[in-house]
Amino acid sequence: MTDTSVPAASGVRQFWRRLRTQRAALVAAGVVALLVLVALAAPLLTAVEGQDSTTYHPSLVDSARGGVPIGSLGGANADHWFGVEPQTGRDLFARLVYGARVSLGVALAATVVQVTIGVTLGVAAALGKRWVDQLLSRFTDIIVAMPLMIMSLALLAIVPSSFPRPVLVALVVGLIGWGNIARIVRAQTLTLKELDHVLAARLSGWGTWSIARRELLPGIAAPVITYAALLVPTNITVEAALSFLGVGVKPPTPSWGQMLTAADVWYQAAPQYLLLPAGALFVTVLALTVLGDGVRTALDPRAASRLRIGTGRKRESKTTEGGAA
Amino acid sequence: MSGFPGFVLRRAVGAVVTLLAISVIVYVVFYVTPGNVAQITCGPRCSPEQVDQVARQLNLDDPLFLRYWHFLQGLVAGQDYSTGTSVQHCSAPCFGLSYQSDQQVTQLIWTKLPVSLSLVSGAMVLWLLLGVGTGVLSAWRRGRFSERVLTGVTLAGTATPVFVIGLVLMIVVCGELRLLPFPQYVALTDDPEQWAWNLLLPWLSLALIEAAAFARLTRASMLETLAEDHIRTFRAYGVGERSIVGRHALRGAFAPVIALNANNVGSAIGGAVLTETLFGLPGIGQELVHAVNVVDLPVVVGMVLVIGFFVVLANAVADVLYAVADRRVVLT
């Protein structure tokens, strides 16, 4: 059982205090903040450079040699900071920063959809009648059994292509990937609903909805936030993978995964065409994963300190803090 | 029935029920979708009359449950298809005919399956060896510098998309160093040596990513076991550290690793789709991507159901293994 007796306000403060003590998580948070800033300021950044992400520059690629960027370093110069895309001559810097928008935007939107569905169905299963629980739980089992990548890939086949692609990818990934959240929320709600303050609310004649909103949601926040923080990097990878396969975000909208589709052909002439999107993906997913781990440690210090037992390293500060919670 | 055989039987029945439910969901989602199935089947340039004709051929006017029933019949007992003048028998399990090539989806699956099975099974051996090995090593070297290096490497592994590591491996090993030729699938039955040699890079790409999760899990479960009382007793009896870590603590990691392996079969198949596409291996994944791009619904549905079959199978097998490995598991 978790520390549900801790009032919400001090819980938030405690969370920040514990997050701040982890150096790796702090660095990761900084990187994530920077990436979000780049994504938000994409139009500004490209305006400073004086380019945009969709204009073709046929004069900058050598059509006689299959569209290799002209000049050394893949056509990088003062006008095109990171060079240009092979064949089309589109500005690589602009595509990279707009790609950050797609990557983070799609992943966040998908996570919001997953959390919304997962929390709703999880709470409904735990509070509903027995047959409701049975139905929802079996449905969740089936959803969990279907691989996220495969189902997203397959679903993208049947949606009309007129639909805006990034929205579509976020929706599809969101509609399939909620299974584990629903399971976690159901389990947590089942535990919570037997606690005294919830029973008291029920005896006072509160409706199911008020109980769910005011007594249960604060209690399931911690596990949901923990899991959602780890879902974001997963969703980024899935979007990149789908776009890499050519079924996700489609040109002219740039996406890091999509940029890598043809990168292997051009790696000698324009290595940054491979290295930049690959590096961007790696840094983003790594930073989000480390941040997610940090969030988990801050919300559930006991889980983290358990793993340090027996290492012979100093652990007194962490354990006392966890024990006091 | 009670006891172990009863447990296995119940688990098998549960797997079949799950598969049936998956087939219903997949059928409903793909054949009753917002998009007009007849229009998709016929292609974008069809006239309204042609679309109507296709709709009649597909029995789209029948009620949904009847259409699903026909689909299920085909799966279990096979079905006859009239293609123009001749009648083609599609034996069970029949997923229908490809919209694109009129080829039977089942035949397509049989030709593609060996490639994907070779890829995933070989990679699985590698990721279990690499992952558990790394986990054991970092539990053994806990608190030292080498453990921190290993932890960093595995963290980087979890953060790298499989197609990025595959791309880099392919470019470095095949392109720059020329240690291996660019992979080309050779059937195991044709030439086992060439089969393994060509699959080496795809195996590695898939395994390196998956191994990271196993390394983290193995390390965590072993550290947890190492903190337990019976380990202290072993130490008091003077059992050596190597034996404590390598035998007793490793036992604690066994059950979680089995569970994770079953869970990861789904994501590994997702990774296999990317690996196959990247290396040009003619497997289920590559075919699925192609079918999605040309909206060949029977192929998409067939592939999804076959993949679902393997995921459900893996989970059922893992449950049984789990019960064998850990006697404390309550058999329900």
In this prediction, residue B41 carries a pLDDT of 64
Looking at chain A, the whole-number percentage of residues with pLDDT higher than 70 is: 88
CB contact under 8 A, A142 and B307: no
Place of tokens 């780049």: A38
Torsion angle in degrees (nearest 10) through CA of A192, A188, A29, A6: 20
Which residue blocks in chain A are alpha helix, DSSP H? 8-20, 23-40, 42-49, 92-127, 130-145, 148-155, 165-176, 179-192, 196-203, 208-210, 217-244, 256-259, 263-266, 271-299, 301-308, 316-324
What is the tens place of the pLDDT at every residue in A208-264? 788 877 888 888 888 898 889 889 999 999 999 999 988 888 888 889 998 888 777
Instruction: Show the tokens assigned to A59.
Output: 């004069």
Cβ neighbours around A247 below 10 Å, total: 22
- Report the amino acid identity of residue A238: V
What is the tens place of the pLDDT at every residue in B35-61? 566 666 666 666 777 777 667 666 666
Residue segments in chain B with a per-residue pLDDT below the cut of 70: 1-2, 32-46, 53-54, 56-61, 81-87, 326-332
What is the tens place of the pLDDT at every residue in A131-167? 999 899 888 988 887 888 888 888 887 776 677 888 9
Cis amide prior to B282 (ω within 30 degrees): no
Is A259 at the interface with chain B, CB within 8 A? no
Min mean pLDDT across A268-277, A296-305, B8-17, B71-80 is at A296-305
Instruction: Show the tokens assigned to A63.
Output: 């059509």
What is the tens place of the pLDDT at every residue in A51-96? 777 777 777 777 777 777 777 777 777 777 777 777 777 888 888 9
Is the pLDDT score of A309 beyond 50? Answer: no
Tell me the Ramachandran region of residue B301: left when phi exceeds 0, alpha when psi lies from -120 to 50, beta otherwise.
alpha
In this prediction, residue B327 carries a pLDDT of 62
Q: Are B304 and B26 in contact (CB under 8 A)?
A: yes
Looking at chain A, the whole-number percentage of residues with pLDDT higher than 90 is: 26
Cis amide prior to A251 (ω within 30 degrees): no
On chain A, the residues whose CB falls within 8 A of the CB of B18 are: 141-142, 145
**ipTM of this complex:** 0.83
Q: Tell the burial category of A258 from Cβ atoms under 10 Å away from its Cβ (0-12, 13-18, 19+).
A: buried
Q: Give residues 119 to 138 of A whose Cβ lies within 8 Å of B.
A: 138
On chain A, the residues whose CB falls within 8 A of the CB of B11 are: none
Nearest Cα residue in chain A from B154: A286
Nearest Cα residue in chain B from A247: B293
DSSP B8-69: HHHHHHHHHHHHHHHHHHHHHHHHS-SS-HHHHHH-TT--HHHHHHHHHHTTTTS-HHHHHH
CB contact under 8 A, A146 and B22: yes
Place of tokens 């036992």: B251
In this prediction, residue A108 carries a pLDDT of 95
3-state secondary structure B200-269: HHHHHHHHHHHHHHHHHHHHHHHHHHHCCHHHHHHHHCCCCHHHHHHHHHHHHHHHHHHHHHHHHHHHHH
Q: How far is B231 from chain A (nearest CA, A)?
A: 11
Q: Which of A153, A165, A231 to mutate to test the interface with B (most CBs of B within 10 A)?
A: A153
Which of B33, B227, B295 minimises the CB distance to A310? B227
On chain B, the residues whose CB falls within 8 A of the CB of A145 are: 18, 22, 266, 308, 311-312, 315
